[in-house]
Amino acid sequence: MKKCRTVVAMITVGLLAYSTRAQQPAATNSGSSSGATAQQTQILKNVEAYLRHLYAFGPEVELIVSAPKETEIPGLLETDVDLKQGQHTEKAKLYVSKDGKYLIRGEVSDLTKDPLAENRAVIQTKDAPAMGDPKAPVTLVEFSDFQCPVCRNLHDVLRGMLRNYPQVRVIFKDFPIEVLHPWARTAALAGRCAYQQDPNAFWKLYDSIYDNQELISPENAWMKMSEYASQAGLNKDDFRACMASPEAAAAVDASRKNGQELEVTSTPTLFVNGRRIVGADARILEQYLQYELAQQKPTKTPEKK
């Protein structure tokens, strides 16, 4: 089963594991924009033309390639691609060789820095639903979409796995992908409102939504959310008022924005003490949990004879 992906993830996934020549050779011309040189302007045109051709983006899709910036790697430029389709906008980071011949998708890592520390510094956990000991040595942050089938698989994996890991604290972050999942935002609002009324009730709603995912539709989503809220013991009137409030919408938007800052492009995306996992692979998740827990154990000093 494929992961739930944003529109821009078509670009980033499609360019995975290879470099490619742009459709036209880089050349200089008299046009320039945003301070870019003539050669850079041509590179931008080539990148846009290539992506439009590769993914069949018609004129209804707005595709903006930013002026390339220097990186710490000689010969490699960095550019942002902004994609807008209707009301939905996304951003991806790509790299282009200075001669304009190669377009590269991937991460550039500085080996002198701890990438996990950088991720942990960006993740915002304040006012997010959490389960487990606040002092737990391992924190698992889950960016999920309630309508995503793979997120439901992850829910089932976590329900079976976490009972064996009391040392793990779970934090939930909303990342509804509305362009693919029309009732995901409604469910995200419901989760946020359950949390605001009773933090423990969030996890009851979390279970109810994933356990009944196939029964929910855009037409009945509001009714279903109210039903699950009542089953969780929440005040229905307060819950419905919260669902329509700008505060709940702002909280969901803030969570999604935080995911974008972490370059989350598909759901589920997890961070285990800052280490990224995309998808619901139980084997990899358990490997990461065991690795982190092993780091917490004190190293035994050999006994002197």
User: Where are the chain's structural domains?
Assistant: 4-104, 115-295
The CATH number for 4-104, chosen from 1.20.1540, 3.10.450, 1.10.10, 3.40.50, is 3.10.450
Confidence of residue 173 (pLDDT cuts 50, 70, 90): very high
The pTM score is 0.73
Q: How confident is the model at residue 299, as a pLDDT?
A: 57
Question: Residue 8 pLDDT more than 70?
Answer: no
In what helix (H) or strand (E) does residue 288 lie, and over which residues does it extend? helix 282-296
Q: How confident is the model at residue 27, as a pLDDT?
A: 32
Residue 83 tokens read as 């994609």
Per residue in 212-262, pLDDT (tens digit) is 999 999 999 999 999 999 999 999 999 999 999 999 999 999 999 999 999
Question: Residue 9 pLDDT more than 70?
Answer: no
| Neighbour tally for 129: CB within 10 Å | 22
Q: Is CATH 3.40.50.720 correct for 115-295?
A: no
Q: How confident is the model at residue 38, as a pLDDT?
A: 84
Q: How confident is the model at residue 2, as a pLDDT?
A: 46
Q: How confident is the model at residue 305, as a pLDDT?
A: 53
Residue 194 tokens read as 């359950």
C-alpha to C-alpha distance for 136 and 139, rounded to whole angstroms: 7
Q: How confident is the model at residue 36, as a pLDDT?
A: 63
Confidence of residue 23 (pLDDT cuts 50, 70, 90): very low
Q: How confident is the model at residue 301, as a pLDDT?
A: 55
Per residue in 250-301, pLDDT (tens digit) is 999 999 999 999 989 899 999 999 999 999 999 999 999 999 999 887 655 5
Answer whether 134's CB lies under 8 Å from 146's CB: no
Q: How far from 206 is each of 4, 70, 128, 203, 257, CA to CA, in Å?
A: 18, 44, 13, 5, 21
In what helix (H) or strand (E) does residue 284 lie, and over which residues does it extend? helix 282-296
Per residue in 57-111, pLDDT (tens digit) is 888 889 999 988 898 888 999 998 988 887 777 778 899 999 889 998 877 788 8
Report how far Cα 154 is from the mean position of its chain's Cα atoms: 14
